[in-house]
Amino acid sequence: MVDHTPDQLPVAVIGAGPIGLAAAAHLAERNVPFIVVEAGDAPAAAVRAWSHVQLFSPWEYNTDPAARRLLAAAGWQEPEASQLPSGGDMVKQYLQPLAELPALAPHIRYGATVTAISRLGIDRLRTAGREAAPFVVRLEGGEELLARAVIDASGTWRQPNYVGANGLPAHGEPEAAAWTTHGLPDVFGEDRTQHAGRHTVVVGAGHSAANTLLALAELASAEEGTTITWAIRAADPAASFGGGSDDELPARGALGAGLKMLVDTGRVTLAPNFRTHSVRRLGDDPARDQVELISRAADGSEQRVTADRIVAATGFRPDFDITSELRLELDPILSAPRALAPLIDPNQHSCGTVTPHGYRELAHPEPGYYAVGMKSYGRAPTFLMLTGYEQVRSIAAALAGDLEAAQSVELQLPETGVCSVTAGGEALALRLGLRPEQHEQLLHATAKHLGTSPSAAEAVLAAATELGIDHTTALQLAAYAAEQFDAPGAPGC
């Protein structure tokens, strides 16, 4: 006879990304039985998709404490805390070794796509006996797993937002899918031929857009005929430039500073007040023909941008279809748990001002189900991995019966100055492929040219010429370096 007593069943963790694996690590430390189901054929499938991108937070903010403890016990060499990893570094040096640990590996199933979650013998309407009934996790192909609780770390990667300005697909957007890349294209790798010598329009105003624009600007220096348009809904791009050298994550501040210089010098053409209404194909061949994006204002006026490629850096949204038979209470605006929504509202908060939260804020009327990580934030773009690690630490403690630990606050988010271990300019230089000594040489040479140059930007360009450093790379550093040289009037600063 099969024992369906919930306490004897494992916790089902959906997704083997950074947060799902961290949940597994915390459950393993507390000897709580678990199973991880992952749709991909390896851990961290979403991270692998942006393996070429460098994070703007250093290693110390990208690893989970329980995971580090398990890895250290197995002889793992922890990366330098102040270094900035790429997505590929995260997989190779942290996530893959974590998934291969004996404490986790036997409990992870790959190629297992969850299609639905419910309760054993009970639909959403029935209340009596609900809490005592095990969860049923149905996989593609029909197999069903029973679980005492569900930690849904499936993320949002497979559910990108639309280019359309009103949250709906722009007219013609589905038909132009072959011209569109969502997320972060690898413009120096497998996606190079799509952008080299061609015109790309980047739609969106977040960090993904900034990363892509900076990469395309580098490509434009190497590939003649490469042009870039940046389409944003706002009238002013200032919010996308971030806090510069005052940003609590210097690499993030450097990202915005570099983007500002590219716009101010015309290397990126800005299309403000652009609210995409429709996308029109100008042919049938994505390798040769173009598309036209049309923005339509309330007064009927239009803007048009013709491009070879569209990069939709418009973010992602959660998909709760698999939980349609569960009793969830989601905020009507953010699609996040109702208690969590006011703590993460992007109209009020940035990544670093989110209140630490755990199992109580993530709870639903469906006892034992928790959406964590990016999925828990719904459509809010302010998620940091540190926040997700704290979420699963608290949930694992609650599932183990340790409510004191579950209710404690153990999260310290980056504040101004916290990340000063890596200077902002150095972080940007690393992202652009300059060695630390080259960055230092550029700063010294710039100081030498300041006396004879009309601005810090011109001084940086003169120094770049002297050292044989690409001018676009130097310009991206110029906005950040200008403050160090006390040149507030420099172009773009």
Per DSSP (E only), the strands in 337-478 are: 369-371
- Token duo for residue 112: 């297992």
Among candidate residues 360, 359, 349, the one with its CA nearest the CA of residue 384: 349
pLDDT of residue 364: 96
What is the separation of C-alpha 109 from the centre of its chain, rounded to a whole number of angstroms? 24
pLDDT of residue 482: 41
pLDDT of residue 430: 62
What is the separation of C-alpha 467 from the centre of its chain, rounded to a whole number of angstroms? 35
The DSSP line for 190-216 is TTHHHHTTSEEEEE--SHHHHHHHHHH
Per DSSP (E only), the strands in 204-348 are: 227-231, 269-271, 276-282, 290-296, 302-307, 309-312
Between CA 371 and CA 325 the distance in angstroms is 15
Tens digit of each residue's pLDDT, the chain (493 residues): 445 566 789 999 999 999 999 999 999 999 999 999 999 999 999 999 889 887 767 898 899 999 999 999 999 999 998 888 889 999 999 999 999 999 999 999 999 999 999 999 999 999 999 999 999 999 999 999 999 999 999 999 889 999 999 999 999 999 999 999 998 899 999 999 999 999 999 998 877 887 788 889 889 988 999 999 999 888 877 665 554 444 444 444 445 566 777 777 788 899 989 999 999 999 999 999 999 999 998 888 999 999 999 999 998 899 999 999 999 999 999 999 999 999 888 777 665 567 778 999 999 999 999 999 999 999 988 788 889 999 999 999 999 999 999 998 777 665 433 232 233 455 556 656 677 677 667 767 776 776 677 765 677 778 888 888 877 677 665 544 443 333 333 322 2
Q: Quote the DSSP letter at residue 330.
A: B
pLDDT of residue 493: 26
The DSSP line for 166-179 is TSSPPBTTGGGGGG
pLDDT of residue 136: 98
137 neighbors 150 (Cβ within 8 angstroms): yes
Residues in contact with 411: Cβ distance below 8 Å, sequence separation at least 6, in sequence order: 356, 386, 387, 389, 390
Residue 54 has, within 13 A of its CA and on its CB side, a CA count of 18
Q: Cα–Cα–Cα angle for 198, 87, 31, nearest 5°?
A: 155
56 neighbors 35 (Cβ within 8 angstroms): no
129 neighbors 122 (Cβ within 8 angstroms): yes
263 neighbors 236 (Cβ within 8 angstroms): no
